[in-house]
Structure 1
Amino acid sequence: MSNESLARAYEMTRTLLAALDAGDFAFAADLAEERSPLLMSLEREQTDEDLAMIHEIMALNESIVSKASAARDAVAATHTDARERVSAAREYLAAGRMR
């Protein structure tokens, strides 16, 4: 991977994290998909400067995973709450029909 590509992957990682902070999950997913081939093309031999950037990308990835997991859990909780409300409404309507 060239230094330009690594720098691009680094900037995309920072932008991805900002997108998650802003709640723009679609943009974050697009960035992750675009960034993936850049990261997969990393070569075995890297300069010390490149290794430092790679380590920073790895640290940012930990934040990305944490934020994405928290967002997923929030969506799951909202979905569960909505299902429970629908179920309660059904039961309420069914009880009204029994009268």
Structure 2
Amino acid sequence: MSHESLSRAYELSQAMNAAATEGDWLYAAELADTRSPLLMSLTAEQTPEALATIRAIQDIDAEIERIAQRGRDALMSDMHASMRRVEAVSFYQATGQL
């Protein structure tokens, strides 16, 4: 992989992180699709500078994963709260029909 391609992959990773932070998961996925071929072209032999950039990309990916997990947890919490409200309404309705 050329230095330019790796730099582009890093830029795309930063943009993915920004999109994830804003909750724009569709755009983050589009960026990931663009970045993927660049990362797939990596070879085993890399310069120390390239390895540092790759580690930085891995760190960004880990942050995106943390953002996604927090979002997932919030959605699950909202879903459980909604289910409890539905159960309460159902109980209220059933009680009213007695």
Q: Same fold (TM over 0.5)?
A: yes
Hey, what does 1:82 align to over in structure 2?
A: 82
Hey, what does 2:91 align to over in structure 1?
A: 91
Hey, what does 1:44 align to over in structure 2?
A: 44
Structure 2 residue 8 is the aligned partner of structure 1 residue 11: no
Cα distance per residue 1:10-66 (max 9 Å; x no partner): 011101111111121221222223322322221111122211111111111111111
In 1: Cα distance, 2:29 partner to 2:66 partner: 15
SS for the counterpart of 1:46 is: coil
In 2: Cα distance, 1:45 partner to 1:64 partner: 26
The answer to which of 70-79 and 22-31 deviates more is 22-31
TM-score normalised over the length of structure 2: 0.88
Q: Displacement of 1:8 after TM fit?
A: 1.4
In 2: Cα distance, 1:7 partner to 1:23 partner: 24
**Match of 1:2, as an amino acid?**
S
Identity of aligned residues (%): 45
In 2: Cα distance, 1:55 partner to 1:90 partner: 52
Structure 2 residue 58 is the aligned partner of structure 1 residue 58: yes
In 1: Cα distance, 2:2 partner to 2:69 partner: 31
TM-score normalised over the length of structure 1: 0.87
In 1: Cα distance, 2:79 partner to 2:72 partner: 10
Please, what is the CA RMSD of the aligned residues? 1.4
Cα distance per residue 1:72-98 (max 9 Å; x no partner): 111111111111111111111111111
SS for the counterpart of 2:46 is: coil
Paired residue total: 98
